[in-house]
A = this chain, B = another copy of it.
Amino acid sequence: MEQEKINLFLSKLAGIADNVNHYLDKWLPQNEEDYSANLNEAMRYSVMAGGKRIRPALTVLVAEGLGFKGEAVYRAGCAYELFHSASLIHDDLPCMDDDDLRRGKPTSHKVFGEATAVLAGDSLMLMPYEWFGKLAEYGVSYEKIVKIMNIANEAFTYRGVIGGQMLDLKYENKKIDQETLERIHMGKTAALLGAPILTGAVLADANEEELDCLKIYSKKIGLLFQIIDDILDIESDAATLGKNIGRDVALGKSTYPALLGLEGAKDYAKKTYEEAISAIKPLSERLSDLESLALYLLKRKS
């Protein structure tokens, strides 16, 4: 029953991801169309590298669940995928996490050089606002566009993803308490799940109470995602390497199992899941997909 619900949700998600890939390919600047060809090539390389497209999918699931359909939903949702790719390009830079591979492919700075990677990230961070501006072409009101711009900005900048990344660097290899850990995850993960959800809701004319429910839900699933990530990290290492310690723990990163113990972390995940479900109770008929998403995040094995 639960697994069936999850499978249905995942197959819906895959269908949306196909559409997202189609639109991203269509809307990203062509390599040949513009004088900034290297830049366009580097932007495409990272954005088209795949992934579940969960962020744009959230905009689609929420907007469509609340009764608003059409290309505008994809235009707004895909903007978050641009930003997500941008933040990964910068995170992978030698001066940040110094990663050579991302989804099995060489990272941007490995392929195009560091300077181009910095610029491709910059450009992809800014392009969401171009795409939000284009919502007017679909008849989305200027008021809604400004609302979406504000939602996105709060998720992106020093109050969101960039702030979370800064905090993460600051506390690297340092012991931190649960409050600080949660602030990092709110910035690095939850902010960029919440913004696409709220964007879908704004497109579909959600009222303030509905937006408040969705804000709480977003924070809870961001947290849930991270707790489970920490747990899987430990359990998969234990299973595959026969040792009882996770990579993050070994790297000196603070994790929920390290803070709460493995069982404590599992209880915390369950509690967080229940809080997510409870937050969107008033919307559960129209947004049952969000219930499935929370269930999937709780039960996932990888």
Contact = CB atoms under 8 A, between A and B. Distances in A.
Contact of A162 (B35, B39, B149): B39
A118 interface: yes
Interface stretch (A45-53, A140-148, A194-202, A229-237): A140-148
A101 interface: no
Nearest to A152: B129
B115 A158 contact: no
Contact of A143 (B95, B130, B142): B142
Nearest to A130: B153
Q: How many copies does the complex hold?
A: 2
Q: Is the interface of A mostly helix, strand, loop or mixed?
A: helix
Contacts of A183: 35
Interface string A102-142: 00000000000111101101110111011011001000011
Interface residues of A, number: 51
A102 to B, nearest CB: 17
A71 to B, nearest CB: 18
Contacts of A29: 158
B118 A166 contact: no
Contacts of A153: 126-127, 129-130, 133
A181 B141 CA distance: 40
Nearest to A165: B119
A7 interface: no
Contact of A158 (B123, B132, B136, B169): B123
A159 interface: yes
